[in-house]
Structure 1
Amino acid sequence: MRKKEYNVSVVIPNYNGEKFIAQAIECILAQNVSSLIELIIVDDASTDNSVNLIEEKIRDITWAKLVSLKINVGRSKARNLGVAVSKYSLILFLDNDDLLPSDYIKNLLNLANITKLIEIVIAGQKNYFLDGEYGLRGPLEIHDSSLESILLGKFFVPTGFMISKNIFEELEGFDALLHEREDWDFASKLCIAGYSIIASDMPVWVRLHQNNNSKNHERFISATLKVHERLATYFKITGDKKMHAKLCSYTASQIARRPVKLALRFCGLKIAFKALFIDIRVSIGQSIFFTIARLLIRMTIRNKNT
C-alpha cells in the first residue's frame, strides 16, 4: 500500500534569538523529506538583530516566511499566530534555540503512516546540549508517554512535536497567558480530550544556555500553580483522589527547585512546606550518594596501592 504524503508547516517563535535562529532555520532547510514543507518564523517584537538575520537567511526561500509582530505577546501566542497563517494540515513546532536532525520530519511522518494515527500528536525525545558545545549530545531523556506521566508534567516538550492543525485549533492552541509551563498545560488538554501522544525515538536537541525561560523563578512558579489549579479541579470533578495526591506531590517537587521565599509568596504555607520537605529530602539523598561515592573511590585507590 502506497504511503500517503503529508505536508508540514514548521512554526518557529523567535524573540531576541540572534545567537541561535540561523541554526534553527538551517536544520529545517536540511530536512531530508519528500513532503512539502512550509517554514513560518514568528518574530515576537525582537529588540536585537534577529529580524535582519532571518530576512537574510530566508530571502531566496520561496516556502519560508517571516511574521513580524509589533508588540511582544509571548511564545505561546506567537506559536498560535504561526499556526493561524499556516496552510498545511500538520504543524511542527521548533523553538528558536533548538535543533532537529536532518531525518527528523521524515521519521515522524513514517511513524504516522505505520501507526495510522496522523490525527494524533507525535513527539520526539529530549536530548540536551550546552550552548557552545555542539558536539555534546546527551543524556537522552527517554519519555514515558502514559496518561499519568503526561498529566503530571513529566513528558511533553513543545519543541519538535507534530500535531494535526485541526486538533490544535479544536483545543484552541496554547494558553496565550502562559509564558511558562504551556507545554504541560497543552499536553494535559490533549489527554483530557482523549488524544494520545506517540513518542518517537528521534532526538530533539534542546540547547541549555543562560537565557532559558525556565530560569525565571517567579514566572515558573506562577505558571506551575495556574496549571496545577486546572488539573486539581479536573481530578476533583472526576473523583480521582490518587491522581490529585500525585499532582500535589509533583507540583511541590517543581516548586522545591525554586527559592523558598518565592514559594511562600505564591503557594501558601501548605505547598511551600511540602516543597521545602522535598528539597531537604533530595539534598540529604544527594549528600548520602556523594559520601558513598567518595568512600568507594578511596577504597578503589587504596586497593590499587596495596
Structure 2
Amino acid sequence: MSNLKIFNISVIIPVYNGEKYIEKAIESAFSQKDVVEVVVVEDGSTDSTLDLLYKIQKKEPRLVVLRHQYGVNKGRSKSRNLGIQNAKSTYIAFLDADDFYLPHRFDMDKKIFNNDNSVDGVYNAIGSHFYIDCSIEEKEKLKLLSVWEVIPPEKLFESMTPIGHKGYFSGDGLTVHRRVFDSVGFFNPKLSVAEDTELYLKMALQCKLIGGVIDTPVALRGVHDTNVFRGNEALYIKNRKLMYESLLNWSFKKNINDYRFFKLWTCLWRNRKSLKKSYISDMFYWISLVSKYPKLLKFKKYYNPLKFK
C-alpha cells in the first residue's frame, strides 16, 4: 500500500481555434474533484478563443492560460510540452480542446495510484460525441477506443496497436506521474500527427502503465468536420514512417532489447513497403539503416528485407 495521501492533477489542454468547444472541455475538467489546475496552451488562434479563455479565467482562478512567445502557432506537441513544463501537480492528464471528461473520470486512477506507488500511469477507454451526422459504420468504429483486454504492463508494448493488435488508448484517458517525462521525454514536435502514439509507445517500453476502466468511456472525443483524424490517411502514413524512424533511433540509444527493437523495425519496414517505393530506393534505405544500426544484421536470417511484407 502506498503512503500517497494527496492525489492532485494538472490537466493539459492545447487549443487552436477552439472557441466552439473549449469552454465545455474546461468545465468538464474542473468538475473532477482531484483537478487542481487546468493549463490551457493557446496556440496562436485566429478566432475568439483567447478572449474566451481570459473571460473564463476571471471566474475560475485555477485556469492557467499560456501562449508561445509572440503568440505564434507551434502545433500540438510544443503546446502540450509547454503545458507539462509549467504544470504544478504530481499527476498529469491530457484533454483535447474539442473533447470532454465524463463524471468520475479519475476515480479508478486514484485507486490504482494509491494502491501501488510503482505505477507510472493509468490508461482508460474513451468514447465519442458526434457533433455531425456520421455513418453507422463510423459511429461503430469510434464507439469505444480502448485496449480490448487486461494487459500486464510488461507486455503492453508488444500488445498495443500499432505494434500488436489488442487496441490502444487515447491521451484523454491517460493519467501519468510527472516522473515519466524524465524517463521518456516529451511529445515530438517533428511529428504533425502520431506524436501521441510515439510518446505512449515510449511509455509502454520504459514505464509501468496499468489499465483502469477499459470497457466503458471515461471521456468523450468530439467528432466534427475539422477533426485531423478524419480523411487524412496520407498524412498519417507519412508521419507513421517518421514516428517509427524516431522510435527506432530512441530505442537504439536507450539500448532497448533486441526483440522489441526488431518489433519496431518490422513496423517501420511494413510502413515503408506501403509507400510502394522502387526496389532501388528500398535497397538504399535498408543500407542506410544498417549503417546506422548494425544490430539489424542480427535479424536478417528471419527475412529478406527487400521482400519483407
Tell me the TM-score normalised to structure 1 length: 0.73
Structure 1 partner of 2:126: 126
CA distance in 2, matches of 1:28, 1:14: 15
CA–CA distance in structure 1, aligned partners of residues 196 and 66 of structure 2: 22
Instruction: Name the counterpart of 1:59.
Output: 58
1:189 aligns with 2:202: yes
Match of 2:177 among 147, 164, 183: 164
Going from structure 1 to structure 2, the CA distance change for 1:230 and 1:68 (only over 3 Å counts) comes to closer
240, 262, 267: which is aligned to 1:247? 267
1:177 corresponds in structure 2 to: 190
- In the other structure, the counterpart of 1:226 is 242
User: Shift in Å at residue 249 of structure 1?
Assistant: 7.7
Aligned to 1:89: 90
1:141 aligned to 2:140?
no
- Residues 244 and 93 (structure 1), Cα distance of their counterparts in 2 relative to 1, 3 Å cut: closer
Q: Deviations over 1:92-129 (max 9, x none)?
A: 111111111121023321222134444x1111112123
Q: Shift of the alpha carbon at 1:205? A: 1.0
Q: 1: distance between equivalents of 2:189 and 2:73?
A: 12
Of structures 1 and 2, the larger Rg is shown by 1
Name the residue aligned to 2:300.
none
| Secondary structure of 1:37's aligned partner | strand
Root-mean-square deviation over aligned CA pairs: 3.5
Give how far 1:239 is off: 3.7
Shift of 1:152: 2.9
Letter in 2 for 1:65: V
Q: CA deviation at 1:23?
A: 1.0
* Aligned 8 A contact 2:129 2:222 in 1: yes
Contact 1:156–1:183 (8 Å) recurs in 2: no
The percent of aligned pairs where both chains have the same amino acid is: 24
Q: Is 1:122–1:197's contact at 8 Å kept on the other side of the alignment?
A: yes
Measured in 2, the distance between the counterparts of 1:151 and 1:187 equals 11
* Counterpart in the other structure of 1:76: 77
Alpha-carbon distance change, 175 to 248 in structure 1, aligned in 2, over 3 angstroms: closer
CA contact (8 A) 1:8 1:36 kept: yes
Q: Which amino acid aligns with 2:180?
A: I
Task: Show the 5 A alignment for 1:262-277.
Answer: 263-264=275-276
CA distance in structure 2 between the partners assigned to 1:18 and 1:128 by the alignment: 19
Change (3 A) 1:110 1:71: same
* Structure 1 position 248, deviation (Å): 4.9
Read off the aligned partner of 1:16 and give its amino acid letter: N
CA distance in 1, matches of 2:161, 2:245: 12
Which residue type is aligned with residue 243 of structure 1? K
User: How many equivalent residue pairs?
Assistant: 261
Change (3 A) 1:246 1:265: closer
| Post-superposition CA distance 1:215-235 (Å, at most 9, x none) | 434432221001122445648
Q: Deviations over 1:34-79 (max 9, x none)?
A: x351111000001111111222223211211111231111101100
Distance 1:21 1:116, change over 3 A: same
* Cα offset, 1:151, TM superposition: 6.7
Secondary structure of the 1:103 match is: coil
Report the equivalent of 1:43: 42
Conserved 8 A contact 2:57-2:64: yes
CA contact (8 A) 1:13 1:41 kept: yes
2:124 aligned counterpart, secondary structure = strand
